[in-house]
A and B are shown apart, each in its own frame.
Chain A
């Protein structure tokens, strides 16, 4: 019997190694796997590269992981947001490497990683500071920059519904980066608000098929800001 549902946080986080690249889902608070981030803090892996659209707010969650000195590098599109105090402090002090990636390129680099595409060309960032140093080729008379796939060792994902096969459905704008991150990592760990029987999610409505998922942890149902 396939059963990807894990008992507790320790089982969810087992084997996450120092030096890993961790993909963290969410856009703002919606779809952000808060419990798993807490679990990673507890688990202790360090020297991490974190891929996440934002760079944490306040002093909890991702910001706490960074404040503890566990993040070597962050890859994101929008690190600066209301309350991104820890990021600002560490960045100014030179204690954090930053790679800024246009949001669509960020999503596509992970999708490409999940789809076995090592690199692709896009007009996004051509002729800009973020296109510097990248291979440029002209297609249809327009310059395009080459972007590399961005695979993760681990993805932390939040879903609304999951079954023991790891099939996932999301909730409203909580979907965001979660499905592409689930595809792009070798070990995809999901926190799900609801565990349902296999077959209960309408096959037409499965957004992430279980093939992309390794572990599922049931978390307390709650609103994103709770």
Chain B
């Protein structure tokens, strides 16, 4: 069994993003996706602090601290990019203008519920940022995460046990073991990492899995 690495997961997500989409990549693993979109394919990256057309990190020594991303790291701007204020930026998100948001998650349920902002009902100090706006507002929400927690507990579940970020928001999940669609009838497996069997996948998933037409 050869689970996908994070880089391979990012490549897998990037391959599914068509030209012309406006995409917001969540903080953490999803940011890796940007490195895998072929340069000739015009995909416009959005950063919720007011950037469309965000480019990669600048070379060392050329950082411009007036130009940072939502993770507060210095970035660059592609030709054709633009700046706008926070209410406009979130109008893009909440108004359904962003084609895709890729988020990390603690749990995803088979009805598309996502939990990715707090690990308990009374976190010492919760922090939500733009997670709820993105999950509720983007046209599509894809999740990119490990299939299980570090100690082996399933992250794909029938019902989230952590506090919800949004209800019925996720349409696809990319893990290190599989790609799954979230459908009206639950999780449908679309692709498996090399050597991963349905039997193994079921043993590390806490929700029913349907076998879909697998990717070639």
Residues of A within 8 A of B (CB): 27-30, 77-81, 87-88, 91-92, 98, 100-108, 110-111, 122-130, 143, 170-180, 207, 223-225
Q: For the complex, what is the distance from the CA of A136 to the CA of B128, rounded to whole Å?
A: 20
Min CB distance, B123 to chain A, in Å?
A: 9
Chain B residues positioned under 8 Å from A170 (CB to CB): 83, 85
Q: Is A224 within 8 A of B66, CB to CB?
A: yes
From A27, A79, A175, A207, B127 is in contact (CB under 8 Å) with: A79
Q: For the complex, what is the distance from the CA of A80 to the CA of B121, rounded to whole Å?
A: 16
Q: For the complex, what is the distance from the CA of A91 to the CA of B122, rounded to whole Å?
A: 13
From B66, B83, B137, A104 is in contact (CB under 8 Å) with: B137
Please name the residue on chain A nearest to B124 by beta carbon.
Answer: A92
Q: Is B85 within 8 A of A178, CB to CB?
A: yes
Min CB distance, B103 to chain A, in Å?
A: 14
Q: For the complex, what is the distance from the CA of A111 to the CA of B91, rounded to whole Å?
A: 11
Q: For the complex, what is the distance from the CA of A186 to the CA of B77, rounded to whole Å?
A: 35
Q: Is B132 within 8 A of A107, CB to CB?
A: no
B48 in the interface (beta carbon within 8 A): yes
Q: List 21 A-B contacts (CB under 8 A).
A: A28-B72, A30-B68, A80-B126, A81-B127, A87-B125, A102-B128, A102-B130, A103-B86, A103-B90, A104-B130, A107-B85, A107-B89, A126-B167, A128-B163, A128-B166, A129-B126, A175-B50, A176-B49, A177-B86, A179-B87, A223-B65
Q: Is B87 within 8 A of A108, CB to CB?
A: yes
Q: For the complex, what is the distance from the CA of A91 to the CA of B133, rounded to whole Å?
A: 25
Residues of B within 8 A of A (CB): 47-51, 64-69, 72, 77, 83-87, 89-91, 93-94, 118, 121, 124-133, 136-137, 163-167
Q: For the complex, what is the distance from the CA of A101 to the CA of B133, rounded to whole Å?
A: 10
Q: Is B127 within 8 A of A77, CB to CB?
A: yes
From B64, B69, B84, B129, A77 is in contact (CB under 8 Å) with: B129
Chain B residues positioned under 8 Å from A107 (CB to CB): 85-87, 89-90
Q: Is A173 within 8 A of B67, CB to CB?
A: yes
Q: For the complex, what is the distance from the CA of A174 to the CA of B72, rounded to whole Å?
A: 11
Q: For the complex, what is the distance from the CA of A22 to the CA of B206, rounded to whole Å?
A: 47
Given A78-B128, A79-B125, A130-B128, A172:B133 Cβ within 8 A: no
Q: For the complex, what is the distance from the CA of A17 to the CA of B66, rounded to whole Å?
A: 32
Min CB distance, A109 to chain B, in Å?
A: 10
From A78, A92, A180, A224, B86 is in contact (CB under 8 Å) with: A180
Q: Is A173 within 8 A of B49, CB to CB?
A: yes
Please name the residue on chain B nearest to A125 by beta carbon.
Answer: B132
Chain B residues positioned under 8 Å from A103 (CB to CB): 48, 86, 90, 128-130, 133
